[in-house]
Amino acid sequence: MANASFQNVSKSFGAVTAVQDLELEIADGEFFVLLGPSGAGKTTTLRLMAGLETPDAGQVMIGGLDVTNLHPAARDVAFVFQQYSLYPHYTVFENLAFPLRSPLRRVSESEVKRRVLEVAELLRIDSKLQNKATKLSGGEMQRVAIGRALVRSPKLFLMDEPMSSLDAKLREDLRAELKRIQSKLGATMIYVTHDQVEATTLADRIGILENGVLRQASSPRTVYDDPDSLYVAQRLGTPPINVLPLEWCELQGVPKGAKHLAVRPEDVRVGATGTVGTVEVVENLGSQQQILVSNPLSEIRALVSVDSGLKRGQEVRLEIAADRRLFFGSGGERIRL
C-alpha cells in the first residue's frame, strides 16, 4: 500500500477541461471518495492516476515516486471499471488469475491457484470459479471484478462507480463488504461515485469536484456541516439543503457580503416564534416527516417527527437555530461568521 498525490495536474480534451490544477494528497490506507455529477472530471482523475490518460501539466505520484510518464502496467495499481469489467472469453478463475499471470509478475501456477482461491472465498464466489464470466449475475460480476483487484495486493485501488449498475440491496451488501475488506487490508483506495450515500458511508475523506475543479476535500462530517461553498453544500443531504433569501433571519446576524442563507432541513424547527408559513406538503419518510412550507419569501423543507400532527394548509412558525445557519456570497462562496 502506498500514498498518492496529484500535483498541479491539468487535463483537457480539445476545448473541454476535464481536470484543472488538481492538488490532492491521499494518505496511505485512506479511503478517498471523489463525488460529483457526471462530467465533473471524476473518472478522468481516476484514469490519470491509473495511467490511462497522460496529464497536460503537473505530476502524478504514487508512493513518493513520480509515475506521470509510467505505463499503466508499471504503476502497480488496480482498477475496477463501472461496466465491461470482466474478460468475457475467460472463466471466473482465469479472470481472477489474469493479473497474476502477467509477465511482469512471474507468480508460480500453484501460488496463482492459492491466491485466486483465497480471494474467491473472501468474496464468496468460490463456487463460481469454473463459470464463464458472462454466465454470472451482475453482483457476482462486480465481485469478480473487485476480486481481480484484490488478488495481487496493488499499491492503490481505483474504483470507478463499481456498484452503479447493481440494484439497491446488492449495492448495500457489497458496500459493507468493500469497507470491511479495505480496513482489513489497510488498502489505499480512490473511489469514484455520484451517489452521496455511498460517499458518506465509505469515505474517510470526500473530494467534491465541480467542472474539473476540486472544491473541497475533507471528512464526510466536515463536508456536510462546514461546506466551503454552496455547490459543496448542495452535493450532500437528502432532502437537499434549503437555499433561502436573507430575510429569513434577523439582519444583525448576517455577515457582510452574504447573499444566500442555507440551512439543512433537520435544522428547521416548528416552534412558537419565527417566520410564518403555510404547510403545502406533508411526506412520510418512515421515521420522520418531511414538510414543505411556503410563504411569500420562498419555500422551505423541514424534517419533523412523525407525530407532529401537521396538516396541509396549516399555518406554522419556523425557527432556524442561529449556529446552524450557513451564509454564502453571490458567487456561492462560503461567508463565515
Instruction: Kindly give the interhelix angle for 138-150 and 168-185, rounded to the nearest 10 degrees.
Output: 10
Establish if 50 lies at the interface with other proteins (CB under 8 A).
yes
Q: Which residue in the block uniquely carries the three cell numbers 472544491?
A: 215
Question: Which of 38, 71, 250, 273: binder of other proteins (CB under 8 A)?
Answer: 71
Question: Which of 11, 42, 128, 148: binder of other proteins (CB under 8 A)?
Answer: 148
What backbone phi and psi angles, to 5 degrees, belong to 114? -60, -45
Q: Considering the complex, state which of residue 36 and residue 154 has its C-beta at the smaller distance from other proteins.
A: 154
Question: How many residues form the binding site for other proteins (CB under 8 A)?
Answer: 24
Question: Which of 65, 104, 321, 337: binder of other proteins (CB under 8 A)?
Answer: 104
Establish if 42 lies at the interface with other proteins (CB under 8 A).
no
- Name the one range near other proteins by CB under 8 A: 103-111, 235-243, 301-309, 324-332: 103-111
DSSP letter for 129, please: T
E-only strand ranges, the chain = 4-13, 16-26, 31-35, 57-62, 65-66, 77-80, 156-160, 189-193, 205-210, 213-218, 242-244, 260-263, 268-271, 275-284, 288-294, 299-305, 315-320, 326-328, 334-335
Report helix, strand or coil for 280. Answer: strand
Shortest reach from residue 162's CB to other proteins, in Å? 12
Establish if 14 lies at the interface with other proteins (CB under 8 A).
no
Question: Which of 102, 134, 137, 305: binder of other proteins (CB under 8 A)?
Answer: 102
If you compute the radius of gyration of the chain from its CA atoms, what whole number of angstroms results?
A: 24
Shortest reach from residue 132's CB to other proteins, in Å? 13
What backbone phi and psi angles, to 5 degrees, belong to 76? 55, 50
- Name the one range near other proteins by CB under 8 A: 35-43, 69-77, 171-179, 236-244: 69-77
Would you give the binding string for other proteins spanning residues 82-101, x where CB under 8 A is met? -xxx-xxx--------xx--
